[in-house]
Structure 1
């Protein structure tokens, strides 16, 4: 038997044995499964690989990877304890390529900015391991996968050629100075003709712009403006001298969050408990510039409280004791699937709120409050000591210019590209991101002007908001409209004719408006809606002045202001087309 024949016999025996072991242990060994794709199988690092690896990796949250994490940490450079399993599919895909081969996946866009994908981004930008060629981000485009709620992105990465031993052209071995980038907002992603839309929307970006830090997929001019905003600002925590704090996490809201009737009964039974029942806001109560308190209260039984001093509250909480008990450290289920009925383990007592909230005094100060999930820039000022639930954040700073900057179109434009995106393109202002938010410093005169404009807005807000409540009551009583709809809830946007038309459309078809009804509606518009409409117009004029002031504070040129409005994200606080006309920048 010749040498080559003996080698083939040995190779066949080895492959057969390895397949037997793989079947026994139920793992997939790529070199065994595709022996013709690799050479030097006896080596610790077989050579070869696939020309292309494509796929749509599975999503498995890190909480479900517990027992596997030690092995993943040992095996993958991209490992992060908080990473979804698709991160490791990326690295595995790169490993399976031959030098010069390409990998392309359709996967969630979270890896572009998520902290857990920092090592993955570092891998993609390591010229010895990968060469980024193309990235497309389609936002929250739902029709790609109708049965799944995803944020689809596509990436193409090439494995670099580090040796002349493989048949790859010289062109493939030359590092590309740029990568092609495509960003199409979800509402503009076509169901047909996607290739043409991608080709039209793509543009090159220098590879030098990509690192392990969060990736910004924007044209060069937009990136330059982002850099200018960051360069002309200081981190918000440094500017304000305080960091944002989250609202109160009780661990069981049904016990600690109460309405006014329950609060009044508890106080009647024990007047002392008024001291620890605080008015609070939900995220949904926070509006632009100011908040609307809905008559809700929080039993603020913080760590160390002597609950025996507040008997009515103790009696109230006793009704929920099984759900309030903290989970014992040594608790184990007695039957399969059994779950602890109370709250998570911790050093708190059953009658105490779950978080320690050592910063609770900050709630009683003048402050800026905002939502945990943002669909638009809604930052409000509170001087009344309102607490907030865990869907809110606060900045304990009496600074109207800061409030103006946070509510400005420029900051929403920046944050759309800076803050993490959630379902339906909501933004989440996570703590560390907000601490680093660039705030332009201004002189005394500028700050005083901003304070004056904001004070006027805060005075006008009740004139805009309160008539809406009165109008809803009037429509319910006079016309039986229990659910008047969003347009009537924002009736200040309607002129008299539109107001009558919207009311007519909201009524049941069998209910016709008489001439007298129309006259009453027009009269109500004059008495209630017109004043709110006037207040809204004054607020709009003041917001425009503040927007110009903030743009100037960051040193924006007319061309940069034009660029901001031309590349405006959804839900800008002012209308981009109207602002371009107002500023003469069409």
Structure 2
């Protein structure tokens, strides 16, 4: 247990605790008494019980005293007392004298993120850190956390700090073994932590357990096990699970991990494989099956990103207004403003068929060609339109920041974009859905777009329709309930594509034809040839 008593309390199941400890290498055959293991948020002692049991067996086998081989912390006094009772019970049953003394010495009431500590003092940091959004933390403590933990940026979660402090406390070859939500691997607030890990540590093991009952009750926590070592990055074991994954499967995974020659496994309960290395930098890390990650890693090594200065290929998002009911209009309402203040607007509904079928919507446009707000006095009908909605417009955050610009849209209009051919992508979709605008419309904010100086957009559209591009987006994108994905610019930018000039004339023609026909299978067949992968390598 790692959360204060109340509605959010969850207990880690016994077999999951054993799984984490085995993966981290905290096993009784090793001389654990010569090492230091830390449980940073011990709660009721779910991890501590098994850690102490293993330490006891190891010390008996190696002829050691218990010493100070375990350190544990918790903020709440009743958690400290509960964990001390657990330790005392385990040691007493193991025949150790002074069990109560060890229990008192090993477990402290303290804030792990703020306590004074020796750097590089831990061989293991193991547990299930708390999940608490920063907005739920008192301001004075939050300020202290941010000062102590440089990775806790933006709308972070407190577990980010636990990762950082744990990692910084490791001795060389020391290990952090956590079961924790894996949103930090992909979300923006995890960027600093990802950068820290990529620069100084090795991701040895990562397994998603999103649908597995790892806690005593179902919680929407997106749990995953990560084993991170203070060492140069080497090969990484990656695994994905299904709901049927159970304790026996965990034992199989542990045995598989210990044998570097183990072949990949893919069955109805889990998939596991090895990558030559992990993903670099602070950009979001991909997720999914080992086959998908192996494909992504290979293509990352061989091809440039979709957004590329060399080809002037750029990914963007349409205009956000902050008040669509005022700025987006159609039909007879268009007569409310001067005709040259109406900008033809493409909407998500216009792209449903796979071709662009304009629905007649316009943006009531307050910007001139130079990117400046127009003088309302020069447009009496526009001025009257905005004045009718003045109260709603002035209440927007963007208007409060600049009251003199109260009638602006959140985003400025790039008038050059309207005439440019562009590929459009709806924000929410089960699969990539590129649609060509040959020019003339400006995208709404629920549409992402791609423009390029070097690509024939029909050819690029064929590549982006393919299963290869889909594998990229599925690996990086946040998936909503029901399988719908958010096709945000940051995920589209992660797609790798070949150089346009490297494609043969026949492949270009075939991709353009597949795009026109909306034929995903045909696009995928050409894409696998262009990328140099077999079609069986594309995860379904």
Q: In which range does the TM-score fall when normalised by the shorter chain?
A: 0.5 to 0.7
Distance 1:202 1:544 in 2: 25
Spell out, residue by residue over 1:198-230, the C-alpha distance to the aligned partner (whole angstroms, 9 max, x if none).
Answer: 546253536843655544466776545334433
The answer to whether residue 55 in structure 2 is matched with residue 55 in structure 1 is no
Structure 1 pair 440–140 and aligned structure 2 pair: CA distance change class (3 A): farther
The CA deviation at 1:137 is 1.1
Partner residue, 1:181: 238
Superposition map of 1:270-289 within 5 A: 273-287=338-352, 289=354
The CA deviation at 1:298 is 1.8
Spell out, residue by residue over 1:124-147, the C-alpha distance to the aligned partner (whole angstroms, 9 max, x if none).
Answer: 5687xx775643214577997987
Match of 1:244 among 299, 304, 315: 315
Partner residue, 1:110: 183
The answer to whether residue 305 in structure 2 is matched with residue 235 in structure 1 is yes
Structure 1 pair 399–103 and aligned structure 2 pair: CA distance change class (3 A): closer
Structure 1 pair 286–94 and aligned structure 2 pair: CA distance change class (3 A): same
Superposition map of 1:345-424 within 5 A: 345-346=401-402, 349-357=405-413, 359-397=414-452, 399-424=457-482
The CA deviation at 1:440 is 1.2
Superposition map of 1:434-583 within 5 A: 434-435=492-493, 437-443=495-501, 446=504, 450=508, 454=512, 458=516, 539=517, 543-556=520-533, 560-564=534-538, 567-568=539-540
Distance 1:434 1:396 in 2: 12
Spell out, residue by residue over 1:18-63, the C-alpha distance to the aligned partner (whole angstroms, 9 max, x if none).
Answer: xxxxxxxx97799999751189x9x964998898743352230569
Where 1:370 maps in the other structure, the secondary structure is: strand
Partner residue, 2:18: none
**Are the counterparts in 2 of residues 53 and 97 from structure 1 also a CA contact under 8 Å?**
no
Structure 1 pair 46–76 and aligned structure 2 pair: CA distance change class (3 A): closer
Structure 2 runs not aligned, ≥5 long: 1-73, 85-102, 111-115, 254-268
Distance 1:443 1:48 in 2: 54
The CA deviation at 1:90 is 3.0
**Are the counterparts in 2 of residues 326 and 345 from structure 1 also a CA contact under 8 Å?**
no
Structure 1 runs not aligned, ≥5 long: 1-25, 161-173, 328-339, 459-538, 569-586
**Are the counterparts in 1 of residues 468 and 528 from structure 2 also a CA contact under 8 Å?**
yes
Distance 2:122 2:299 in 1: 45
Partner residue, 2:161: 88
The answer to whether residue 358 in structure 2 is matched with residue 299 in structure 1 is no
Structure 1 pair 139–385 and aligned structure 2 pair: CA distance change class (3 A): farther
The CA deviation at 1:156 is 4.6
Distance 2:403 2:448 in 1: 24
The Cα RMSD (Å) is 4.6
- Scaled by the length of structure 1, the TM-score of the pair is 0.58
Structure 1 pair 88–288 and aligned structure 2 pair: CA distance change class (3 A): farther
**Are the counterparts in 2 of residues 288 and 407 from structure 1 also a CA contact under 8 Å?**
no
- Scaled by the length of structure 2, the TM-score of the pair is 0.62
Structure 1 pair 347–317 and aligned structure 2 pair: CA distance change class (3 A): closer
Where 1:89 maps in the other structure, the secondary structure is: helix
> Which shifted more, 67-76 or 544-553?
67-76
Partner residue, 2:246: 194
Structure 1 pair 62–378 and aligned structure 2 pair: CA distance change class (3 A): farther
**Are the counterparts in 2 of residues 237 and 243 from structure 1 also a CA contact under 8 Å?**
yes
The CA deviation at 1:325 is 1.4
**Are the counterparts in 1 of residues 393 and 406 from structure 2 also a CA contact under 8 Å?**
yes
Structure 1 pair 148–285 and aligned structure 2 pair: CA distance change class (3 A): farther
**Number of residue equivalences:** 415
Structure 1 pair 424–87 and aligned structure 2 pair: CA distance change class (3 A): farther
The CA deviation at 1:368 is 1.0
**Are the counterparts in 1 of residues 427 and 447 from structure 2 also a CA contact under 8 Å?**
yes
